[in-house]
């Protein structure tokens, strides 16, 4: 039976509604990891390090899609809750067209900038060549990448989370199969890994675009003749600024990690951090998937002024986040050797460094879910300011500060533990905002 945003959610119904989003984010993370897995094992340690250097740049360039998807879906869901379906379709359509135009512009500009950005990040020689090859091929698919991420949020708003999941699975399986073909069989190296990703992203974006453009039972549909609404675009950017901040900051933080590790541990340090990042994408994908899946429910009930249901969703979300954090921290510690062996088992020194680093890093999962959900929660309430503050403090201030300061005191151990200090500080800030805003939004 179809679950609607207007339903009353018990734990069972809530899990059924958000599960496709969680699986979708997990699958997205896994098929991103596959690129690194094939590059590390079939192309080599240096190309793998090159991917880790240039990937943050690509994520920053594509962050606009995350911002419009999360911020725009909050506005559209709220508009649906107010009973204004035609207006919701107009807003939705306009935002998608803006994403497409922005993606094409980023592709053109990015092609020119990639070599200079790679040099600025410390790449030279063979590593610089690898960065440029991988980056330019990936830029060919940046519009599809942005569009796919934007449409995933709107699939949930349209009460079609399962279709969003199916799209991600199709895209992900395509990427995995083509990685095996292009990298392992054809030996196309970094070009093959990037080309496989571009094809898979194009397929995922095309499925979503075609679905919303054709006649079906979706509560959202493209309106091909729509007016540009600067106010809605600005509000979408404001609402989604936390996701923009989070994505940009995560990328900048990766650059800073790479810089610090290069000076302390060299290429091995960058490769070890790359493994941790790939694996942590999967773990944090659970938190992001839940936040993405529950956000339209929060926005809808806020727009409908259904305070009882808003309180219900908030309370259950806190419980789920708390339990998930404990389980992930335990699993990450137990599975550190197995996960590290999959990527770098061919190098014993690198393997041992990665295992130790991941055990330390796993403790951050105890706190990270609260910052992720808190930021998403306020975005769903159309309070982009608070959401952005949480994201900014969690990433730009706390984590960057920890990465810069702690290595001076603890050396490389300070790098691995920086994330724990940052996530704990973000947990405190999120708790303060939740307490201070409870009367205004009446969720607790």
Total structural domains in the chain?
1
Residue 161's SS3 state is helix
What does the CA dihedral 27, 31, 37, 40 come to, rounded to 10 degrees? -140
Cα dihedral 86, 90, 95, 98 in deg (nearest 10): 170
Beta carbons within 8 Å of 330's beta carbon, 6+ residues apart: none
Residue 269 falls within a domain, yes or no? yes
CB 425 within 8 A of CB 365: no
Tokens of 313: 């969703």
Alpha-carbon span 58 to 51, nearest angstrom:
10
d(CA 67, CA 245): 9
Specify whether the CB–CB gap between 165 and 17 falls below 8 A: no
Contact 246, 394 (CB under 8 A): yes
Does residue 3 lie within any of the structural domains? no
Q: How far separated are the first and last CA of the chain, in Å rounded?
A: 30
- Report the candidate in 353, 350, 355, 359 with the shortest Cα–Cα distance to residue 337: 355
The total of other beta-carbon atoms located within 10 Å of residue 404's CB is: 13
d(CA 108, CA 116): 15
Task: Specify if 6 maps to a domain.
Answer: no
Question: What is the crossing angle of helices 230-239 and 63-81, to 10°?
Answer: 110
DSSP H helical segments within 40-124, as ranges?
45-61, 63-81, 85-120
Residue 84 is assigned to a structural domain of this protein: yes
Q: Which of 292, 249, 257, 259 is nearest to 276 (CA)?
A: 257
Q: At what angle do helices 63-81 and 85-120 cross, to 10 degrees?
A: 170
According to DSSP, residue 437 is labeled T
DSSP 282-346: HHHHHHHHHHHHHHHHHHHHHHTT-HHHHHHHHHHHHHHHHHHHHHHHHHHHHTHHHHHHHHHTT
Rounded distance between C-alpha atoms, residue 14 and residue 297, angstroms: 9
Domain ranges, residue 92 = 11-441
Report pTM: 0.73
3-state helix, strand, coil in the chain (%, to 5): 85, 0, 15
Q: Is residue 98 part of a domain?
A: yes
Q: Hey, what are 359's tokens?
A: 């055990």
By CB atoms closer than 10 A (0-12, 13-18, 19+), residue 57 is buried
Residues 252-289: pLDDT tens digits? Answer: 888 888 888 877 887 788 888 888 887 888 888 899 89
d(CA 393, CA 386): 11
Please state, rounded to an integer, the average pLDDT across all residues of the chain: 88
Residue-by-residue pLDDT tens, the chain, 444 positions: 678 888 889 999 999 989 888 887 887 777 667 777 888 788 877 788 788 788 888 888 777 777 888 788 888 988 988 888 899 999 999 999 999 999 999 999 999 999 998 888 777 888 889 999 999 999 999 999 899 888 988 988 888 888 888 898 898 889 989 999 999 999 998 999 999 999 999 999 999 999 999 888 888 898 888 888 888 988 888 877 766 766 777 778 888 888 888 778 877 888 888 888 878 888 888 998 999 889 989 999 998 899 999 999 999 999 999 999 999 999 999 999 998 888 887 778 889 999 999 999 999 999 999 999 999 999 889 888 898 889 888 877 898 899 999 998 988 899 999 999 999 999 999 999 999 999 898 887
Q: Is the Cβ–Cβ distance between 287 and 373 less than 8 Å?
A: yes
Rounded Cα distance, 231 and 392, in Å: 23
Q: Is 277 within the bounds of a domain?
A: yes
Tens of pLDDT, residue by residue over 141-172, are: 999 989 988 898 898 888 888 888 889 889 88
Alpha carbon distance 90, 110 (integer Å):
30
Under 8 Å CB-to-CB from 217, ≥6 apart: which residues?
none
H or E element at residue 219: none
């Amino acid at each position: 039976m179809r679950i609607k945003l207007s339903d009353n959610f018990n734990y069972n119904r809530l899990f059924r509604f958000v599960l496709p989003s969680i699986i979708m984010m997990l699958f997205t993370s896994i098929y991103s990891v596959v690129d690194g897995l094939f590059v590390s094992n079939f192309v080599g340690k240096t190309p793998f390090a090159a991917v880790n250097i240039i990937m943050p740049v690509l994520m920053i360039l594509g962050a606009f899609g995350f911002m419009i998807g999360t911020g725009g879906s909050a506005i559209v869901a709220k508009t649906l809750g107010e009973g204004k379906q035609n207006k919701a379709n107009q807003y939705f359509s306009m935002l998608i067209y803006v994403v497409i135009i922005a993606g094409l512009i980023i592709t053109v500009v990015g092609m020119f900038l990639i070599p200079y950005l790679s040099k600025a990040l410390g790449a030279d020689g063979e590593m610089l060549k690898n960065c440029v090859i991988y980056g330019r091929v990936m830029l060919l698919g940046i519009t599809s990448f942005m569009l796919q991420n934007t449409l995933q949020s709107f699939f949930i708003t349209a009460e079609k989370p399962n279709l969003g999941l199916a799209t991600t699975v199709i895209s992900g399986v395509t990427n995995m199969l083509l990685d095996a073909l292009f990298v392992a069989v054809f030996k196309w190296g970094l070009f093959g890994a990037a080309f496989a990703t571009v094809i898979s992203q194009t397929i995922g974006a095309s499925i979503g675009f075609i679905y919303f453009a054709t006649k079906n039972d979706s509560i959202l549909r493209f309106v091909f003749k729509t007016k540009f609404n600067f106010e809605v675009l600005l509000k979408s950017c404001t609402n989604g600024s936390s996701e923009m901040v989070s994505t940009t900051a995560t990328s900048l933080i990766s650059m800073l990690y790479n810089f610090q590790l290069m000076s302390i541990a060299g290429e091995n340090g960058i490769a070890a951090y790359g493994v941790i990042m790939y694996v942590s994408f999967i773990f944090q994908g659970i938190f992001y998937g839940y936040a993405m899946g529950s956000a339209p429910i929060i926005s809808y009930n806020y727009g409908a002024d259904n305070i009882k249901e808003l309180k219900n969703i908030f309370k259950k979300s806190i419980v789920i986040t708390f339990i998930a954090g404990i389980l992930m921290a335990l699993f990450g510690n137990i599975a550190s050797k197995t996960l590290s062996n999959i990527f770098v088992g061919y190098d014993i020194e690198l393997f041992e460094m990665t295992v130790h680093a991941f055990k330390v890093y796993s403790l951050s999962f105890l706190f990270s879910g609260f910052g992720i959900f808190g930021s998403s929660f306020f975005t769903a309430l159309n309070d982009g300011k608070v959401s952005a503050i949480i994201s900014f403090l969690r990433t730009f201030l706390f984590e960057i500060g920890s990465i810069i300061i702690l290595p001076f005191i603890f050396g490389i151990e300070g790098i691995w533990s920086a994330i724990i200090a940052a996530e704990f500080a973000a947990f405190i800030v999120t708790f303060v905002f939740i307490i201070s805003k409870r009367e205004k939004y009446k969720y607790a």
